[in-house]
Amino acid sequence: MAGEALLRVENLSKWFEVRRGLLAPPLTLRAVDGVNFELARGEAVSLVGESGSGKTTLGKTVLRLYEPTSGRIVFKGKDVTKLDGKELLWYRRETGLVQQDPYGAMPSFMTVYRILEEPLIIHKVGTREERREMVFKALEEVRLTPVEDFAFKYPHMLSGGQLQRVAIARALILRPSFVVADEPVSMLDASVRVEILTLMRELQEKLGISFIYITHDLSTTRYFSERIFIMYAGHIVEKAPSKELVREPLHPYSQALINAIPDPDPENRKRLRNVPPGEPPSLINPPPGCRFHPRCPYAMDVCRRQEPPEVEVKSGHVVKCWLYAKG
């Protein structure tokens, strides 16, 4: 991590109430439960987890699209956990979001031009002519050229890949310093994915934006981020530099995740993969202690009773597991 942190998240939780009926007391779903991390200026981090691990909730809570249940979010030295009104508008301008489903994320009755101009209008940027120039430049940046051909089209006239480029242009048009991209390519064709991710990475580096790239696909993360966070059942269980995490995963869950992913290899068909049975726990009634213990091959007594601490095993490599705790 170079330089000062742009974003610091302390013990952040987001719980949802799940109603079961008129009279029954609501249940609590702990989607994000006590998460800590820092993000440096211009740094890209991948947040990896299975569906239901809380990664999207974490992304949206950090952007203040969900109200945090507890904890603190500090952005540019300023506590943004409780901002509202004008100051929240400032935070909105400083941040951006690219969503998973580009079709759902675009109003179908607006042209691409209007979609891109909207954030500029909301934040009162420039005159009409200046905005026009900015919109065209944004389209050029995401290589939707010739821009005149794309600017006046409606979302349904574009392919998924083209639409996701528009979504990226929209997220970047206000030049935010922090962007969350939530599974930006999972709905796109395999051959287009690399193209979109490469484009995102180029813009992120060129503009010096900090990025959280949320994905369930560990194999692409190494190419697009400096660090990887692994999430399981509402907790971040491991944080490490990308290459180190893939080469030397420490948390038993990270190890399982990496074991589960094949590379194209004709030998694969001759062997079984060493993966734990079962599926992630319910977040309404998570297991006590470490949430991975029911599936963990190394589970000890303490894992069943007490939540594991976060241990910095090496500089910049943190793991939430009793196996690495001193004593």
Site residues for another protein per CB under 8 A: 50-51, 159, 189-195, 198, 216-220, 222-223, 246, 256-266, 268-269, 272-273, 275-277, 279-280
Q: How far is the CB of 193 from another protein (least distance, A)?
A: 8
What's the closest the beta carbon of residue 219 comes to another protein, in angstroms?
4
Q: What is the DSSP letter of 261?
A: P
Token look-up 């290459």 returns 243
Q: How far is the CB of 282 from another protein (least distance, A)?
A: 10
Q: Return the number of the residue (137 or 273) whose C-beta is nearest another protein.
A: 273
Pick between residue 9 and residue 196 the one whose CB is nearest to another protein.
Answer: 196
Distance, in Å, from the CA atom of 228 to the CA atom of 25, rounded to the nearest integer, reads 38
Of 64 and 193, the one with the shorter C-beta distance to another protein is: 193
Q: Does residue 210 contact residue 258 with C-beta atoms inside 8 Å?
A: no
Closer to another protein by Cβ: residue 38 or 50: 50
Q: How far is the CB of 270 from another protein (least distance, A)?
A: 9
Q: Are strands 310-314 and 317-320 parallel, antiparallel or unpaired?
A: antiparallel
CA distance 72 to 15: 15
| Least distance from another protein to the Cβ atom of residue 294, Å | 13
Q: Are 12 and 32 in contact (CB under 8 A)?
A: yes
Structure tokens at 158: 């574009």
List of E strands, the chain: 5-18, 27-40, 44-48, 70-75, 78-79, 95-98, 178-182, 210-215, 227-232, 235-241, 310-314, 317-320
Q: Write down the residue that tokens 């909730």 correspond to.
A: 57
CA dihedral 295, 301, 302, 303 (to 10 degrees): 0
- Which of residues 13 and 53 has its CB atom nearest to another protein in the complex? 53
Closer residue to another protein, CB minimum distance, 101 or 118: 101
Residues in CB range of 323: below 8 A, 6 or more apart: 250, 252, 298, 300
Q: Which residue, 132 or 222, has its beta carbon nearer to another protein?
A: 222
What is the CB neighbour count within 10 angstroms for residue 132?
A: 15
Pick between residue 118 and residue 244 the one whose CB is nearest to another protein.
Answer: 244
The least CB distance from residue 247 to another protein, in Å, is 8
CB closer to another protein, 266 vs 327? 266
Q: What is the smallest separation between the CB atom of 23 and another protein, expressed in angstroms?
A: 23
Minimum CB separation of residue 246 from another protein in Å reads 6
| Pairing relationship of beta strands 44-48 and 227-232 according to DSSP bridges | parallel
CB of 103 to another protein, least distance (A): 16
Cβ–Cβ < 8 Å for 45, 171: no
Q: How many residues does the chain have?
A: 327
